[in-house]
Amino acid sequence: MKTSGLSLLAVLGFTLACASSGTPPPGTAGASAARGDAGVSETGTPDAPFRQVLPAAGRPVVFRAPVPTVQTLRNGLAVWIVEDHAVPLVTVELVVRAGEDTDPPGRPGTASFVADMLDEGTALRDASAIAAAFEDQAALFRSQSDKDSLIAAVSFPAASLAPVLDVFADCVLHPAFRHADLERVRALRLGDLAQLQADPAQIGKTVLDRTVFGDQSPWAFPSLGTVASIKAATADQLSAWHRAWVRPNNAVLVVVGDVRSAELLPELERRFGGWTKAALPKRRSVAPAAGKGPRVVTVVDRPGAAQSQLWVGELGVGASSPDLYAAQVASTVLGGGFKSRLNANLRSGKGYSYGAYSAFDVRREPGLFIAAAPVVADKTAEALRELLNEIDRLRQGGIDASELAEAKSGLIQSLPAEFQTTTSTALAFGRLVSLGRPPEYFAQYVQRLDAVTGEDVARAAKLRFDTRTLAIVVVGPLAELRAGLEALDLGPIALRNATGQAVKAAQAVKSTAN
């Protein structure tokens, strides 16, 4: 950097010297004469003929997604390996096919709590020793749970494979759940949950989940759980969940980066080969307790708020749904990008919102279809009407050829971003594991998406979008919103708090019939 700076100063000094001495810098002598009165240079002006023709497009870049090599350790643990020798980095990820869907009744957040405890101490190492061991090898450890999986991963220089695997395997297979570590993590989780419960967007998502899935489903609550479940969590409870679900017959190791299978597998056998199988507990149902009922407008009152959050949704698609690709194209047209219908209407057209979107939350079992938008509070009713109208318009009228082509192109062109680093590649394949998809899924993705027709999208929209039974959640100032919401005649109004619990005062709120 110093050399570059000195070179730049030298050039500037030389140029200034030429200017002060009247001597033109090299390459500029006679330029004025060449330009003449017409101001035309020897190389042409901005209106020169060669500038009037756009350059020819280059050959299309064809992206080919990697396909992992699948190996199996002696205990049956599957290993997905993606060799990539471009840079000397490796990511190892353990994917356990158990997440929030396996939280025990009345204990939401259990899987997430276990994930947070994995690097907090084992029988061999305390939290400080684990952190120091990873830091010594320039390794980054992370763990989390989602709706149907727990993932622990570590990224590191390839030369550090053996020492990093020692610590990583110890963390994921032998967490100690010590009292002091548990209490420290408990305090952090309570703080994180308090932040979520103060975020209007997160409130909308939480209330929508609880409205659609009902209080008996493990998917009705945030990943962190509730204040009560976090406070009640015990080391025995977390340890029992870990023993039950974190087993080689319920997991896959994903390894991406500068590795060679012949050298990698003995190292994995040494750390994971002795990990024993066990019968897995029976899974709870995550389906909503009841089917679609009468439409209700659920309001979370935030007096004085200048902005409202609109969240609407219903049960969507699962990873094996036959209309998955068509439904995703439909959602992309509706609210999947800046030029989507929702954004064009609510942001560009009406100016009610900075941005609106829609998406299917794809899980092993059907998750939610969601459409959401933050809107200026005094236009809440108008924005909700427009949002529902756009869903109805797509459901009734389908999409045109240009929308189909643009939506498919956007989905296809976003695929390479999944494989930019060893970390993102491991996450992408880890998601395949948790959804029960085959390792060649991404290699077939473009072909399957290309096969989607406008008629397919129209059928999916009619099946998946129904504004007559959508759950509707509004987070905003009720006193200012009530008249407008009642005038829409969308159904009765119910009140809930920021955690999704019903508020008794809802009985006193004026309701309207369907």
pLDDT band at 33 (very low <50, low <70, confident <90, very high): very low
What's residue 47's pLDDT?
Answer: 72
Among residues 98, 291, 149, 283, the alpha carbon closest in space to that of 213 is found at 291
What's residue 483's pLDDT?
Answer: 97
DSSP state of 269: H
CATH no. of 297-508: 3.30.830.10
Q: Which residues contact 216 (CB under 8 A, 6 or more apart)?
A: 105, 289
pLDDT band at 309 (very low <50, low <70, confident <90, very high): very high
**Distance between CA atoms of residues 52 and 190, nearest Å:** 63
69-272 and 297-508 agree in CATH topology: yes
| pLDDT tens, residue by residue, 39-89 | 444 555 667 777 778 888 888 778 899 999 999 999 999 999 999 999 999
**Distance between CA atoms of residues 264 and 356, nearest Å:** 46
Query: Exposed, middle or buried: residue 194 (CB in 10 Å: 0-12, 13-18, 19+)?
Result: exposed
Q: How do strand 368-376 and strand 357-360 relate by DSSP bridges?
A: antiparallel
Q: How do strand 297-301 and strand 471-476 relate by DSSP bridges?
A: parallel
More confident residue, 43 or 90: 90
- Whether 3 has a pLDDT exceeding 70, the answer reads no
**Distance between CA atoms of residues 435 and 417, nearest Å:** 20
What's residue 17's pLDDT?
Answer: 40
What's residue 56's pLDDT?
Answer: 86
**Distance between CA atoms of residues 97 and 108, nearest Å:** 17
222-230 average pLDDT score: 97
| pLDDT tens, residue by residue, 384-400 | 999 999 999 999 999 99
Among residues 499, 502, 431, 506, the alpha carbon closest in space to that of 205 is found at 499
CATH superfamily of 69-272: Metalloenzyme, LuxS/M16 peptidase-like (3.30.830.10)
- Whether 191 has a pLDDT exceeding 50, the answer reads yes
Residues found in the chain: 514
| pLDDT tens, residue by residue, 418-476 | 999 999 999 999 999 999 999 999 999 999 999 999 999 999 999 999 999 999 999 99
pLDDT band at 274 (very low <50, low <70, confident <90, very high): very high
**Distance between CA atoms of residues 224 and 267, nearest Å:** 34
152-169 average pLDDT score: 98
pLDDT > 70: percent of the chain: 88
Query: Exposed, middle or buried: residue 43 (CB in 10 Å: 0-12, 13-18, 19+)?
Result: exposed
**DSSP string over 229-263:** HHHH--HHHHHHHHHHH--GGGEEEEEEES--HHH
pLDDT band at 284 (very low <50, low <70, confident <90, very high): confident
- Whether 318 has a pLDDT exceeding 80, the answer reads yes
What's residue 34's pLDDT?
Answer: 38
> Average pLDDT, whole number, for the chain?
90
Q: Where are the alpha helices (DSSP H) in 451-511?
A: 454-464, 478-488
pLDDT band at 315 (very low <50, low <70, confident <90, very high): very high
390, two tokens: 């756009």
pLDDT band at 10 (very low <50, low <70, confident <90, very high): very low
Q: What pTM value is reported for the model?
A: 0.86
| pLDDT tens, residue by residue, 399-411 | 999 999 999 999 9
SS3 for 165-209 is: HHHHHHHHHCECCCHHHHHHHHHHHHHHHHHHCCCHHHHHHHHHH
Q: Residue 467 in contact with residue 371, Cβ under 8 Å?
A: no
- Whether 323 has a pLDDT exceeding 90, the answer reads yes
Question: Quick count: other Cβ atoms within 10 Å of Cβ 265?
Answer: 18
Burial code (b: 16+ CB inside 10 Å, e: under 16) for 379-411 equals bbbbbbebbbebbeebbeebbeeebbebbbebb
Query: Exposed, middle or buried: residue 11 (CB in 10 Å: 0-12, 13-18, 19+)?
Result: exposed
Q: Residue 128 in contact with residue 184, Cβ under 8 Å?
A: no
Longest dimension (CA), the chain: 90
What single letter denotes the amino acid at residue 242? H
Q: Where are the alpha helices (DSSP H) in 339-400?
A: 341-343, 380-397
Spell out the domain ranges in the chain.
69-272, 297-508
End-to-end, the C-alpha distance of the chain in Å comes to 70
